[in-house]
Amino acid sequence: MALLQISEPGMSTAPHEHRLAAGIDLGTTNSLVASVRSGDATTLANEQGEHLLPSVVRYLPDGSVVVGAEAKAVEVSDLNNTISSAKRLLGRGVDDIKTLAGNLPYTFSSSDSQVPKISTVAGDVSAIEVSAEILKALKNRAEKTLGGDLKGVVITVPAYFDDAQRQATKDAARLADLNVYRLLNEPTAAAVAYGLDQGEDFDEKIIAVYDLGGGTFDISILRLNKGVFEVLATGGDSALGGDDFDHVIAEWILQQLGDEQENNPTKLREVLVEARRVKEALSDADKVEVSLGDWQGQFTAEQFAELAEPLVKKTLFACRRALRDADIDKEDVMDVVMVGGSTRMPIIRQRVGDFFEKPPLVDIDPDKVVAVGAAIQADLLAGNKPDTEMLLLDVIPLSLGLETYGGLVEKIIARNTTIPISRAQEFTTFKDSQNAMTIHVLQGERETVEENRSLAKFTLRDIPAMVAGAARIKVTFQVDADGLLNVTAEEETTGVKSSIEVKPSYGLSDAEIESMIKDSMTNAQADMELRKLREAQVEADRTIEALDSAMASDGDTLLSADEKTKLLAAREALLLEKQSGDTEAIKAAIKNMEKTAEFYVARRMDGNIRTAMAGQNIDKFKD
């Protein structure tokens, strides 16, 4: 298989020197660490032979921390100090947590910080700190198994993680004292594992990676072409996963127990634990006995299929949208790869197989495939296989752009653009002698600022005094391999520069993640009409600004009183039409204004030519 290699800065290695590297799947429900040993990528087990590390952390009064199965065993009895599914809170802000708090069995401390904190007996902790404890445990396992210090790791994240969630993951790794080679989208990691392990010879292959973990869902459409993995499109939901399937069973159990149980946090946790057991048991049985306290009942696979249908439909809707984004038909998909422990559910495998009209691949353990792919990539980035080459191309999930005059959004990098990427575009000033420009960075698919997500703002100052439109402001967007954004603005005639690294302290809300792309489609026509209106209003402002500037400069010397009155009347008519909201009427008023001012424009041009020619000998301009 012909392959291409990315040589990352500082990653070259001496001949025959083997660097210890690992891939980490930081999961919502369970986490794993894997490494390449004797040429094979395998997950690493603890002393008890367990490969999965439950993503559960317990805080004790003396400040010590317990991670994994031991913490999970007491999550019901020590509810307030045992934290699970922290991945769902990574990159979330205080406002986001307010909407989620009703579904979370934790007490959040009041804080002015944008990073929410969970109150425990050992003090307040953030999701970043909880995740760091999980990463520390995985790091210790790897170093103990491999017999040395890790030089670097590749950590996987859901493809739909935004900038804030990716940055929070890197912050957690930093707290765990891990050197992160790069963040890798989970579906891409699965493609690495399958693409190398199967050893098929093909020129080009389209695959779908259906990744349903404990707390997140991703669907990615990838093209594998001679060893190059390119993500054509991604979709999904960062707040939909196996936990939600647990909840539909838990709600059924609560109905059997009675409504009075719903306000009992301890009972809720017990119900969720039983619901998860029932879900897992239904993978191998048609019906399961349910027992909780004095109550006993029976739950069937048919009941589960009915209750889970809305959740399954949400995943298939995302699959349909990703295919459309990739401009791929279902018939073009050659293989469907199943990733995540939740894909063991028979209803998921059946419905996904029906949707893509082919049986999904489950050759590699769906719990381990992401960690295996990350380990392969980490081994390459560590420089342990200099003769092996690989190019991984991920994409950004939402468009990136900036605000222009009139509240419009100019998209610099479109969604599903391959990263890493650097793109630049030139802008200019709107007013004469404008010496500063605010760069407002936005994320989303809509045409106006208010309908998109604000990422950051910064100001470019010391722009030299020029007439409107003369300055050349080059704005560059750079997205690195981890999906993190850096924006630079430079005035090209002077070299004045300003930049910002976008590290938002909060993530997209569940509603935003689910609806931003959908809204852009359903409102496409209305958005285009609104953009045309805004553009006409901007042009009207430019026309009025140009007239005002000219009249302030030489209106008293070049215009009679009647001519001034005529121009000001046309100006007032344009101003009124601008406020009317009628695009065609605004365009007509602009044309009328330009026609009315034609004599004035000609008179000014003649004056400028006479001024430029004053004192010159006309003979020198002759051939």
Question: Does residue 451 have an active-site annotation?
Answer: no
The one-character DSSP state at 448 is B
The one-character DSSP state at 393 is E
Helix axis angle, 346-356 to 301-325, nearest 10°: 40
User: Which of the following is catalytic: 25, 246, 403, 445?
Assistant: 25
- Beta-carbon neighbour count of residue 481 at 10 Å? 17
Residue written as token pair 């008023």:
589
What is d(CA 518, CA 530) in angstroms, rounded to the nearest whole number?
Answer: 18
Joined together, the tokens standing for residue 267 give 């009972």
Phi, psi of 594 (to 5 degrees): -65, -40
Query: Is residue 71 within 8 Å of 57, Cβ to Cβ?
Result: yes
DSSP string over 296-329: EEEEEHHHHHHHHHHHHHHHHHHHHHHHHHTT--
Question: Does residue 186 have an active-site annotation?
Answer: yes
Joined together, the tokens standing for residue 461 give 């100052």
Helix axis angle, 301-325 to 242-257, nearest 10°: 150
Phi, psi of 151 (to 5 degrees): -85, -25
What is d(CA 421, CA 415) in angstroms, rounded to the nearest whole number?
Answer: 12
What is d(CA 22, CA 609) in angstroms, rounded to the nearest whole number?
Answer: 72
Exposed, middle or buried, 545 (CB in 10 Å: 0-12/13-18/19+)? middle
Identify the three-state secondary structure at position 347: helix
User: Which of the following is catalytic: 96, 129, 163, 186?
Assistant: 186
- Beta-carbon neighbour count of residue 117 at 10 Å? 20
What is d(CA 57, CA 73) in angstroms, rounded to the nearest whole number?
Answer: 11
Identify the three-state secondary structure at position 394: strand
Question: Does residue 25 have an active-site annotation?
Answer: yes
User: Going along 196-308, which residue ranges are E strands?
Assistant: 204-212, 217-225, 228-237, 287-292, 295-300
What is d(CA 202, CA 194) in angstroms, rounded to the nearest whole number?
Answer: 13
Query: Is residue 368 within 8 Å of 391, Cβ to Cβ?
Result: no
Query: Is residue 228 within 8 Å of 391, Cβ to Cβ?
Result: yes
- Beta-carbon neighbour count of residue 422 at 10 Å? 13
What is d(CA 205, CA 418) in angstroms, rounded to the nearest whole number?
Answer: 18
User: Which of the following is catalytic: 96, 133, 163, 211?
Assistant: 211
Query: Is residue 342 within 8 Å of 312, Cβ to Cβ?
Result: no
User: Which of the following is catalytic: 72, 87, 279, 578?
Assistant: 87
Joined together, the tokens standing for residue 138 give 């995985």
- Beta-carbon neighbour count of residue 551 at 10 Å? 18
Identify the three-state secondary structure at position 527: helix
Phi, psi of 80 (to 5 degrees): -75, -20
Exposed, middle or buried, 255 (CB in 10 Å: 0-12/13-18/19+)? exposed
Question: Does residue 112 have an active-site annotation?
Answer: no
- β-bridge pairing 421-427 and 473-479: antiparallel
Catalytic residues: 25, 87, 186, 211
